[in-house]
Structure 1
Amino acid sequence: MSNLALELEVINVTNLPVPSERTPAGFYVIVSTSYGQWNTTVKAAMVDHSVPWNESLVIEGLPLAFPRWIMPIFPSTSKAVQLEIRASFEHGCLGRGDLLGTVQTNLEELLLHAGKPFGLPVISAQCPSLLLRVKRANALQLPARTAGNTQQSSGFHSVIGRITDTAHEAYTRYRRGDHPKYLDSAIQGFQEVLDECPKSHPHRGAALSNLAHAIIYGFTKGVRTDIDHAVSLFRHALAHRPWEHPDHSLSILNLSKALHLRYSMGKDSADLHEAVVL
């Protein structure tokens, strides 16, 4: 019997809300099945708040007896599929970033739903939708990029990646409820990750930026966090991301915003001048 599979193409998401308190480097989709986990590349949102991926994966199953069933190649206990849309704050993906929406479905529904948008829960008064294309195929005739062959960076499931995720979750709770203990947990977690990223570490720039953002956000909410320290962290992050780095422009934006905020509080013209010439 031929080795049958599903080819799942993640086409795009539309009407996606872009977080206002922090500009993401881009967005990506995680597809989780019992056969493995896979994610798209990180891509920036277009001006119309859509993100085009047009990327495919292959979900393979062991050949079974072939009754008249829409998915005879997958056991009934292994058809669940979870789709997550996430915002990433750097192209290197230190941790998983912010969760924006989740779709719980199964392989049968994917086939029946092919070519129709999946509606996601309302996010910031917007109703994003995810467009997929699914078809049955012969796995031997498809590229060897399967759900088990993840497209994840070194910081995705590493120890520092998991600590970053925990800190991001605390940071999100603080943004939603302004409870100081969550901000403390976020800053502590981001600092722990930074301590594990020496100057030569590929994720040091992301670790510096994460900590700086938590400090800055606390400052804007009246918490006695050190804005001077945050500006210094953003400067070091920019130094770790020279002009050829994919996150160089984002680092300039982060530092410029921090300098402008400090200028608005203290009216130091040096901050305004530095922000303008960056």
Structure 2
Amino acid sequence: MNRFNIPLVAEGLTAYAIERQNGFERHQLEDAPPWREQRRLWTDAILQGMARLDGLAPDPKLMEQFDRELKQASGSAAAVPASLQLQRETIQNLRNFVTALEDTGDDRRCQVNVVRELLEDIASHLPWAGKNNRLDLARDEAERSLVRMTAQMPIRFTHIALGGDTGPHWANGFVSGSVTDAEAVKQSPVYQEAVRDYPEVGNWATLCVGYVGRGLPSALGTVDASDFDLEIMNRIGDRFLDEPGVRWLSGPYQMTIAALAESLDESAPFQMGHTM
């Protein structure tokens, strides 16, 4: 039995793409493909992914119809928007797809992320975002799936927390690999963004703690977290540390880093914690 109604998903995403094409468009990001092209890529990837999970060959006619309908509807005020029922069924199939991808036990995060990005795009379109179609639930489920799957990856990473000395300034985030000294902290995006955002802070009290994923007892067999891993982790923030599979590795490493221009190369001695 097929788990997804692929023709219905194609119909729903085609209707959505036509609405965006003929309505208000999102702000175009610099050096990014046009949103119309991006939606086509998302739709094609999702339809192909659903077919393959169901053991079917992808049907190229679905995307041919997608292109044909968008071309025919271009500039037309007579295009019929998606009904609430079509919205609901399309989103439910996308939710089912995310669940099926995670249930494979493989690293299918790139495919889940395609669904997440499409749902984020849909959420910027009021005729879909303002309806009782479970869009918000689908977005949350896709994000949670990415977080759970990332926590089960054999990766090593460091959580950096920074606190200022002149007021309620603080910053924190995850970085790749093992960061245990001031020079490594200075090279991290977390520190560089904090210095840029709060140039008035002279010294940053810093705390670094190392972690691994997949519940591993040590760093053996792990790799440094990728940019994709970090993107997922930093979106959810400190809550990622509560995920099953995330395990303490080393630290805390405490230090004070002088951020003022005349003392950028100076830092107080740091105190090392225990290491597994």
Shorter chain as normaliser: what TM range? under 0.3
By relative contact order (CA 8 Å, sep 6+), the higher-ranking structure is: 1
Q: Which of the two has higher C-alpha Rg?
A: 2
TM normalised by structure 1 equals 0.27
More helix by share: 2
TM normalised by structure 2 equals 0.28
